[in-house]
């Protein structure tokens, strides 16, 4: 499901747009990946790359604020306040659909995906990966359990893993074949603290592989560190 969100007139913050070396041509792919750690300036950089465009389809992949996490609600508010009024916000995990289905009126409209990290977390949640990870060791003896309960849990984990792989492949195929100008944001997780949990390690590894696959099919890749953006491809 795609939820369209309308916002009021708000300008992009200084220091203004970043010129894109190489001019995107209509009907030809121009794919950009912007990587960075937490609070590195990656989202602002992606927005500045498209600041001079008349229209932008902004794909917000994170969960909506539900009142249970004030810090997340504040982050969403900051992002919304930064978005210009002439951008269209789409709240959805169906990024592949946005990239693949191009109505004639939207062919020249670029896409900003923010971000692949929240997209992957949402997909893993939808597929039941977190539930299966939490249930590991809950039945039977040992880490995976024994008997019927252990067999059922193993089958559920296998099913969840296959669903995640299928969704990731779907996104990658859409990214590789799209003819839209698209800028995607993602977290660079390979340089951070080693996750203390199995689920955290699983997410880090899945995101690292996804970032590498997406980067391999990009015309440009940018890396943000301490608010400084540098093009590395």
Name which of 118, 145, 133 is nearest 200 in CA terms: 133
DSSP 8-state secondary structure symbol assigned to residue 184? E
CA atoms within 13 A on the CB side of 126: 19
Q: Which of 75, 79, 82, 179 is catalytic?
A: 79
**Other CB atoms closer than 10 Å to residue 107's CB: what's the count?**
12
Q: Which spans in the chain are helix H?
A: 42-49, 70-82, 95-100, 116-126, 129-135, 147-177, 198-216
Question: How far apart, in Å, do the first and last CA atoms of the chain sit?
Answer: 33
CA–CA separation, 59 vs 113, rounded Å? 5
CA–CA separation, 81 vs 65, rounded Å? 15
Tokens of 82: 């930064």
Residue listed under structure tokens 């792919």: 29
Q: Would you say 55 and 88 are in contact if contact means Cβ atoms under 8 Å apart?
A: yes
Q: Would you say 87 and 11 are in contact if contact means Cβ atoms under 8 Å apart?
A: no
Residue listed under structure tokens 């747009």: 17
Active site residue 79: yes
Catalytic residues: 79
């Amino acid at each position: 499901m795609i939820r369209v969100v309308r916002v009021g007139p708000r300008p992009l913050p200084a220091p203004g747009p970043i010129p894109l070396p190489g001019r995107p041509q209509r009907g030809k792919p121009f794919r950009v990946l912007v990587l960075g750690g937490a609070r590195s300036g990656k989202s602002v950089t992606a927005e500045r790359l498209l600041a001079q465009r008349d229209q932008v389809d902004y794909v917000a992949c994170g969960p909506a604020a539900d009142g249970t996490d004030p810090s997340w609600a504040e982050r969403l508010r900051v992002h919304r306040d930064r978005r210009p009024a002439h951008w269209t916000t789409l709240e959805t995990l169906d990024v592949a659909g946005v990239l693949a289905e191009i109505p004639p009126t939207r062919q020249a409209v670029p896409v900003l995906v923010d971000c692949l990290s929240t997209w992957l977390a949402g997909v893993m949640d939808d597929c039941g990966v977190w539930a299966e990870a939490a249930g590991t060791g809950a039945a039977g003896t040992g880490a995976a359990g024994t008997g019927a309960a252990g067999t059922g849990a193993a089958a559920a984990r296998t099913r969840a893993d296959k669903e995640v792989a299928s969704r990731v492949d779907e996104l990658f195929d859409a990214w590789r074949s799209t003819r839209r100008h698209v800028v995607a944001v993602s977290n660079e997780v390979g340089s951070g603290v080693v996750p203390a949990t199995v689920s955290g390690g699983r997410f880090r590894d899945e995101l690292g592989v996804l970032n590498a696959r997406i980067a391999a099919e990009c015309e440009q890749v940018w890396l943000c560190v301490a608010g400084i953006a540098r093009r590395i491809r």
